[in-house]
Amino acid sequence: MNDSSRPAAFLLRRRSALPRGQSLVEFALSISFLLLVFSGAVDLGRAYFFWIQVQSAASDGTQWAAAYPDCIANDTDSQSGSPDNCQGSNSILERVLNEDTYLNRNDYVCVKAIISHNGVILADPSNLQRGDDVEIRTKFQVRLVTPIMRGLFGDTLAIYGDVHETIRGVLGVTPPSSCEGTIGSCGGVTPSIPRMVSWTSP
């Protein structure tokens, strides 16, 4: 092979190596994007599933509060307060926490009942009347499982439940019976958080 053919052969070998390097770079970029999409699909899908469950739990608590407005005063406490028939598994808090076994009750941050009359929030639940609006707000922490989403959002993602219902019960009418003993002996889960923290705006 003469000297004039050497540069041409070198260029041919170099050109044949370029597509291999280009394919490797394209694959690295594509796999990074696909991992991000997969991580988002897994964790955001779980968050959406939990949001549906939290909404359902808040709905159960709201239905209970609308039927038995005397229990609204115990919205964040299942172990004390009056009337007695609104304690334990008959409390709004326990109706929310025990609604779904898929939800870890320790991941609830707060549960709060808000009463409003003609759009004005009532500070004292004893002033409510039939036809007023009761709103149950819940805040739940979803634990993220994929490293990419945890790097972007932290270890948990907060989701909120918010359900309204018109009060149809009257004060003085309490649930037919209250559970004696532990919540677990009445078919519920023994509470590990007897008192929830006060509601704070997101």
Kindly give the confidence (pLDDT) of every residue in the chain, 202 residues in length, as a single tens digit, with 9 standing for 90 and above.
Answer: 455 555 555 555 555 555 666 777 777 777 777 777 777 788 888 899 999 999 999 999 899 888 888 888 766 666 666 677 787 778 888 888 888 788 888 888 888 888 888 888 887 777 788 888 999 999 999 998 888 888 888 899 899 999 999 998 877 777 776 554 444 444 444 334 433 444 444 4
pTM of the model: 0.70
- CB contact at 8 A, 70 and 83: yes
Give the domain ranges of the chain: 20-186
- Rounded Cα–Cα distance for residues 33 and 39 (Å): 10
pLDDT of the residue at 7:
58
